[in-house]
Amino acid sequence: MEQFYEKLFNIDYKEYAGFLSATISDFFGSPAFVNSFWIFKIVMAVFSLLFFIFIVILIIKLKSAPSESSPRQKAQKAAVNKEELAKKWSIIAGKSKSLKTGDWKLAIIEADKFLDDLLKRLGYEGESMGDRLKKLDSKKIANIDQIWQAHKIRNDIVHHPEYEPSKGEIDFALGTYERALQDLSAD
């Protein structure tokens, strides 16, 4: 056993390294490798050209495809059922006719939520209704400034429970939300 280890550790590795490098250089320098390597180059060039053409076609198709996330296209896809809107709105408006201020507050909160849900269905993105309102313009909804005021009334109701809106504020906010819903469902 000692002889085995002695032979193993007394090997001249420089001699084997020289043999290995000579074998590798002989292989890559051999006429067989050099003559067949140009075929490999041609195949890789064709493959690269086809891949480049594929990428160019893909980019062209992606640029020409309509964006799925634009609010206008989502609005066209999400047909607004006007009967459904009218039914939900009549329930909300009925609460404003109550003699209880709690029902008035609930009507404002529900109207705001109803408008927010419609904005989401139409493709307006954002984390909050405020974010979605920022994406609206006066071409789409003429009373955007009044919507912000109505949304502020809603925020006062939600964040300050002691806040008691007047009947005038309730009528203003609900009228504002109703007009906004009509503008959005007009498309």
Mind listing the pLDDT tens digit for each residue in 45-55? 999 999 999 99
**Higher pLDDT among residues 56 and 29, named by residue:** 56
Which two tokens mark 81? 């059922």
pTM of the model: 0.57
Q: Which of 42-46, 47-51, 140-144, 149-153 has the lowest mean pLDDT?
A: 140-144
Q: Is the pLDDT of residue 32 over 90?
A: no
Q: Is the pLDDT of residue 187 over 60?
A: no
Q: What are the residue ranges spanned by the domains of the chain?
A: 2-64, 73-185
Give the per-residue pLDDT at 76.
Answer: 47
Best CA proximity match to 131, nearest among 143, 114, 148, 146:
148
Sequence-distant (6+) residues with CB within 8 A of 173 are 108, 111, 149, 150, 153, 154, 165
Give the per-residue pLDDT at 172.
Answer: 92
Q: Is the pLDDT of residue 130 over 70?
A: yes
Distance (Å, rounded) from C-alpha 170 to C-alpha 165?
Answer: 7
